[in-house]
C-alpha cells in the first residue's frame, strides 16, 4: 500500500449522514384510513381526513376525539456490499451493513367540533377540527462489525438516525346540499432529527519507506436538529350518486423554515505505530485528535407540492372501496443542513484549514417526481364488526441521476438509498353507538440501491443494493363527547 493511500486512510475517513426524508407513506395514520392503506381522498368517516383531505370532515356530525398510536414498529434493513473494493494484493474487501430497529410513537389525535346541529345530509353543515399528527417517523440503528477477509484489516461502525415530524393545526370543512364538501387545513410542522455515528478502522500495512505499521483512525459525529415550517391543505369531495364519490386534494409546499436550531459535534483521530507498538511520526503521517463543534448551522425541512385524486364506491351498511393516486412534484437542489465550515485548531488556537478534517454541515438534496397509489376496502363482518384491507406504494423521491453526477453529490447519497416501498394493511374493529375501537397492522417491503463507501479508501464508488422490512401495529379508537 503506497503512502498516499495511508494518508488517505488517516485523514479522509468519513461516514456521510443518514437522512432518509424522501419517502412519505411507509405507514398510514388514522382509524379507518390506516386499515384501508391510506386510500381516503374521497372518503368520509375518519377525523384523520384533516390530513388526507379536509373536505371529508364535512361528513362528520358528532363532537368527539379520535386517537391512534403505533404500539410497536419493527424495521429491518440490509445494505449488500456497502463496502466493495479490490486491493493491490488481489484481495477483495466486501462487507454488508444491517440494522434492526424497534420504535413506538403517537400517530394522530384529532378533536372534532361540529359548528351546528344540522344532521340531515342535505343540510348546510360546518365542522371545525384540531389535529396533532405524526405522518413521518423514521428510526434506524445499523451496525458494521466484522473483519474483512484474510486481509489484516478491521472496521467497526454504528449509525443511529431518528427523524420525526409533528403536524399540528386547525381544519375547517363545510358540506353543501349533502353532495359537495369543501375543506382546508393549516399545519405547523415541527421536525426533529437526531443522528450519531461512530467508525473505527485498524489495519496493518507495509510501506516501502516506513516499513511495517499499524494504522488506526476513528471518527464520531453527533448532530441534532429542530425546525419549524408550515403548509396548507385544500380539498373537495363530490357525491356523484348514492354509491360513487370523487375527491381531490392539494397540499402546498412548505412555506419555508421559520425557525431552526442545529448542534453538531465531530471527534476525529488518527494514530500510527510500528510492529513493536512505538508511535510513528513522519512527514504526511501525524497523530492527531480533533474536537470540532458548531451551533451555527440551519436545517431546512421541505416538502413538495402534492396533488391527490380519489374515487370511492360504497354499498351502505355493507362495504366501501376506494382508490387514490397522488403526485408529488419534484424539488430543485437545496441544503437540508447548511452553515459555515468549522475547522480544528492547533496548540496555539490557529485554525487547521484542512477540508478533510473540517465539520461542514452542508447536506444537499434534490427530489424527483413521484406518483403513488392507495387502494382500500372496508366491509362489515357481522353487525357492528368490520374488517379493512389496503395496499399502497411509497416510491422514493431520491434523484439517482443527480447523485450519480460527481463525487460530492454521491457523498450526499451514501445511506440516502433510493428505497421504493410497497405495502399492505389489515384492520379489524367494532363500532358502537358512541365509540369505535380498532387494530391495524401494516407491512412494507423496501427495495432499491445506494452507493458504497469505497471512497474511504480512495477507491471508485460502486452501487450497493438495499432491502427493508417494516411491520407496524397500530391501535385506534374514537369516542363521542
End-to-end CA distance of the chain: 73
pLDDT of residue 227: 95
* pTM reported for the whole predicted model: 0.90
DSSP, collapsed to helix, strand or coil, labels residue 148 as coil
Burial grade of 275 (CB within 10 A; 0-12, 13-18, 19 or more): exposed
Do 93 and 76 form a contact (C-beta atoms < 8 A)? no
Residues in the chain, total: 481
Q: 433: how many CB neighbours lie within 10 A of its CB?
A: 6
171 vs 252: CA distance, rounded Å: 15
Write the DSSP string, 295-362: ---EE------EEEEEEEEEETTTEEEEEEEEEE--EEEEEEEE---B--B-TTS-B---GGG-B---
The residues pairing with 155 across neighbouring beta strands, listed in sequence order, are 146, 201
What is the spatial distance between Cα 183 and Cα 89, in angstroms, rounded to a whole number? 67
Domains by residue range for the chain, with CATH: 3-480 (2.40.160.60)
Neighbours of 160 (CB within 10 A): 18
Measuring CA to CA, how many Å separate 14 from each of 223, 241, 414?
15, 60, 11
Query: Which grid cell sits at 140?
Result: 434506524
Question: If we measure between CA atoms, which residue out of 331, 443, 448 comes closest to residue 396?
Answer: 448
Query: In 3-state terms, what secondary structure has residue 213?
Result: strand
The answer to whether 322 touches 36, Cβ cutoff 8 Å, is yes
**pLDDT on residue 13:** 45
Identify the pLDDT of residue 417: 77
CB half-sphere exposure, 52, CA atoms < 13 A: 35
At 205 the pLDDT is: 76
The total of other beta-carbon atoms located within 10 Å of residue 158's CB is 17
Q: How far, in whole angstroms, is CA 305 from its chain's centroid? A: 17
Q: What pLDDT was estimated at residue 57?
A: 96
**What's residue 91's pLDDT?**
63
Query: Are 424 and 394 a contacting pair, CB within 8 Å?
Result: no
CA distance 347 to 319: 74
Contact status, residue 18 vs residue 133, Cβ threshold 8 Å: no
**Residue 458 pLDDT:** 65
Going residue by residue through the chain (481 aa), what tens digit of pLDDT does each one get? Answer: 444 444 444 444 444 444 456 777 778 899 899 999 999 999 998 999 999 999 999 999 999 999 988 878 888 888 787 777 666 666 666 777 777 888 888 889 999 999 998 877 778 999 999 999 999 888 888 877 766 555 566 778 888 888 899 999 999 999 998 899 999 999 999 999 998 988 888 887 777 777 788 888 888 989 999 999 999 999 999 999 999 999 999 999 999 899 999 999 999 888 888 878 888 877 667 788 889 999 999 999 899 999 999 999 999 889 999 999 999 999 888 888 889 989 998 878 888 888 778 888 887 788 889 999 999 999 999 888 999 999 999 998 888 777 666 666 666 666 577 889 999 999 999 988 889 999 999 999 999 887 777 766 667 777 788 898 999 999 999 999 8
- How far from chain centre, in Å, is Cα 121? 40
How far from the centroid of its chain's Cα atoms is residue 401's Cα? 20
Amino acid at each position: 500500500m503506497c503512502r498516499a493511500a495511508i494518508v488517505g486512510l488517516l485523514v479522509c475517513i468519513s461516514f456521510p449522514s443518514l437522512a432518509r426524508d424522501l419517502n412519505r407513506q411507509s405507514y398510514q395514520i388514522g382509524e379507518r384510513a390506516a386499515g384501508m392503506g391510506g386510500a381516503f381522498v374521497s372518503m368520509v368517516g375518519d377525523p384523520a381526513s384533516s390530513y388526507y383531505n379536509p373536505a371529508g370532515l364535512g361528513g362528520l356530525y358528532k363532537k368527539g376525539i379520535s386517537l391512534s398510536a403505533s404500539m410497536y414498529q419493527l424495521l429491518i434493513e440490509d445494505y449488500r456490499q456497502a463496502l466493495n473494493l479490490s486491493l493491490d494484493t488481489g484481495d477483495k474487501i466486501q462487507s454488508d451493513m444491517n440494522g434492526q430497529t424497534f420504535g413506538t410513537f403517537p400517530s394522530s389525535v384529532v378533536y372534532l367540533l361540529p359548528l351546528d346541529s344540522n344532521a340531515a345530509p342535505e343540510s348546510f353543515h360546518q365542522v371545525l377540527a384540531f389535529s396533532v399528527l405524526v405522518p413521518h417517523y423514521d428510526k434506524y440503528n445499523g451496525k458494521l462489525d466484522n473483519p474483512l477477509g484474510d486481509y489484516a484489516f478491521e472496521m467497526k461502525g454504528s449509525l443511529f438516525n431518528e427523524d420525526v415530524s409533528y403536524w399540528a393545526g386547525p381544519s375547517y370543512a363545510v358540506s353543501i346540499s349533502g353532495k359537495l364538501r369543501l375543506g382546508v387545513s393549516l399545519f405547523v410542522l415541527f421536525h426533529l432529527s437526531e443522528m450519531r455515528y461512530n467508525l473505527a478502522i485498524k489495519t496493518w500495512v507495509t510501506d516501502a519507506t516506513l516499513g511495517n505499521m499499524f494504522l488506526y483512525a476513528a471518527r464520531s459525529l453527533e448532530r441534532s436538529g429542530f425546525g419549524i415550517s408550515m403548509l396548507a391543505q385544500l380539498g373537495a369531495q363530490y357525491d356523484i350518486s348514492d354509491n360513487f364519490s370523487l375527491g381531490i386534494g392539494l397540499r402546498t409546499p412548505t412555506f419555508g423554515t421559520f425557525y431552526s436550531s442545529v448542534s453538531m459535534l465531530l471527534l476525529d483521530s488518527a494514530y500510527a505505530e510500528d510492529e513493536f507498538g512505538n508511535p510513528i511520526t513522519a512527514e504526511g503521517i501525524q497523530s492527531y485528535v480533533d474536537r470540532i463543534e458548531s451551533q451555527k448551522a440551519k436545517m431546512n425541512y421541505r416538502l413538495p407540492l402534492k396533488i391527490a385524486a380519489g374515487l370511492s364506491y360504497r354499498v351502505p351498511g355493507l362495504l366501501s372501496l376506494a382508490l387514490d393516486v397522488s403526485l408529488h412534484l419534484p424539488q430543485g437542489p437545496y441544503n437540508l443542513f447548511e452553515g459555515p465550515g468549522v475547522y480544528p485548531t492547533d496548540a496555539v488556537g490557529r485554525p487547521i484549514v484542512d477540508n478533510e478534517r473540517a465539520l461542514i454541515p452542508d447536506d444537499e438534496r434534490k427530489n424527483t417526481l413521484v406518483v403513488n397509489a392507495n387502494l382500500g376496502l372496508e366491509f362489515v363482518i357481522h353487525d357492528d364488526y368490520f374488517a379493512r384491507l389496503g395496499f399502497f406504494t411509497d416510491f422514493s423521491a431520491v434523484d439517482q441521476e443527480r447523485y450519480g453526477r460527481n463525487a460530492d453529490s454521491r457523498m450526499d447519497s451514501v445511506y440516502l438509498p433510493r428505497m421504493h416501498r410497497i405495502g399492505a394493511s389489515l384492520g379489524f374493529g367494532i363500532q358502537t353507538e358512541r365509540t369505535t375501537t380498532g387494530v391495524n397492522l401494516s407491512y412494507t417491503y423496501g427495495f432499491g440501491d445506494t452507493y458504497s463507501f469505497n471512497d474511504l479508501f480512495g477507491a471508485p464508488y460502486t452501487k450497493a443494493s438495499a432491502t427493508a422490512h417494516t411491520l407496524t401495529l397500530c391501535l385506534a379508537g374514537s369516542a363521542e363527547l
